[in-house]
Structure 1
Amino acid sequence: MATETGKTAPSKWNITDIPDQSGRTAVVTGANSGLGIATVEALAGAGAHVVLAVRDPKRGEAAAAGVGGSVEVRRLDLADLASVREFAASWRGDLDLLVNNAGVMNIPESRTKDGFEMQFGTNHLGHFALTNLLLPHITDRVVTVSSGAHRMPGTPYIHFDNLHLTGEYAPITAYSQSKLANLLFTLELQRRLAESGSSVRALAAHPGYAATNLQSHDGSSLRRALMRVGNRVMAQDSRAGALPTLYAAVQDLPGASYVGPDGFGEMRGAPTLVGRSAAASDPATARRLWTVSEELTGVTFPQPAAVAGA
């Protein structure tokens, strides 16, 4: 693009900037629609072998059928720790990249199979367990998808005294807590990886406002209606929304980096490094959340000798 001075302005990072991924293997959770399938398409298109980790294998196979490149489908239900353990136990060989993409948003109150509040249990605890169980195989990085909702008005925080919001459940509060947990998890995971001497990196990303089917499950009919309008008028499509995740997945970035869109309010635009709330940057809270997550899931960080890249 030419500027008024005749110089060429640098183009913004896009899918065409993904380096060759041949020989690399990636797992993308929640990969049968939205940001997940857009991430799969981009990585497979660049040469990676991509595993779609999905709750419904039939839907996963239907999605995979439309992807060019090397892909496979495996069952993973993040709301069921037995399924998470089964998925991890079946893994053989190296895993270059884990993308913790799956999530639920603003849904009516419900519980996972293990009794956890569904949004915290799926968005955070399921990915917490999956990541730690797969760490002996992961050779490059873990990218966890968070959200700008981690800094919703009212200064979201981790409700350590009532993590499952029993008796005080509100869909937006639960979602915000789970997305804050994603960032705190990334922060503490990176600290532990560095302490163990591992070269594996933990990073996070958020898509801005992307039109996906995530909004269609909102527990409020009014919010569903408003988001249908917003999806048509304001939102990026899922391919644009996946760019921050892809940037975090393939660029040479420091551990614990957080990537989001560069546009106004981080709602849309090209991927860039972005800031996070003070609550999402607190190492003491990150350590406390890690300890609680270990207690709830029964999954712990591997011994240093078992961590790939150490």
Structure 2
Amino acid sequence: MSEKITTKAQADEFLDSYDNFLFDCDGVLWQGSELLPYVVETLDLLRSKGKKLIFVTNNSTKSRQAYTKKFKGLGIDVTAEEIFGSSYSAAVYLKQVVKFPADKKVLVLGESGVEEELASEGVQFVGGTDPSLRRDITPEDYPLIKPDPSIGAVLCGLDLHINYLKMAMALVNLQVPSTLFLATNIDSTYPTNGKLFPGAGTISAPLILASKRQPVSLGKPSQAMMDCIKAKFEFDPVRTVMVGDRLDTDIQFGLSGGLGTLMVLTGVQTEADLAESAAAATPVVPKFYMSKLGDLYELSK
């Protein structure tokens, strides 16, 4: 069973157990555009104790540079080097892991965050935020939608302007066996402003059904993302904890990577979800949980 941290002694022991803290963002640090209570104070407390902070997000709509602006707007000081998003993970995977050919392009279903990170790694792309694709499909498009030999991969992120035209273009290219099928992440939902909206997984799901192919996911809980993070930051997993609000992504990500795990109840999952998961045939159970991240600061006083 998970241990709920409710006392100063528990909080102090928890803080002494880890040197590196990996944080999910949405639902842990903020909800939509609202900072959660005592987040800044908690992060300052961790920095004062010499802890390394790494912010790991599945939100592919923003690049690391864009995320630093969001953090700053909420009063949190971070550097782009401390942020590891699923868009960046996908770019690193293409450039460094599969050695994506320089003469090939990635067909993007996603927002500017994906484009910016691909560009930062020198990977060519098409689609994405191209305004000419933000329209309804017409019969005149049908003969023009066919496999493009210059496209070597289809990459799906959260696309706020998804439409049938983009889906058709992606599917015809996925029918070429050599075309890579990638997803920044496969989250079913996206928490914002206290609600759950469709997540990035709902963009790749129709293509999975139609193509009968499974994408390589480059976000939590994929260990492809964990491998990239470990390579960049070179930390000891035993002295590292993953802090998140979702069992199927954040907590599974930490458990699979051999990290400690802390779940907060300010995002997707509830205490009832935790109990249900603990009783499941294949339980996903964090080592610790608490009502909110700010409890660490409040309990430390």
Select the structure of larger CA radius of gyration. Answer: 2
Select the structure with the greater relative contact order (CA < 8 A; seq sep ≥ 6). 2
Decide: shared fold, TM above 0.5: no
Query: TM-score, normalised to structure 2's length?
Result: 0.34
Higher strand share goes to which structure?
2
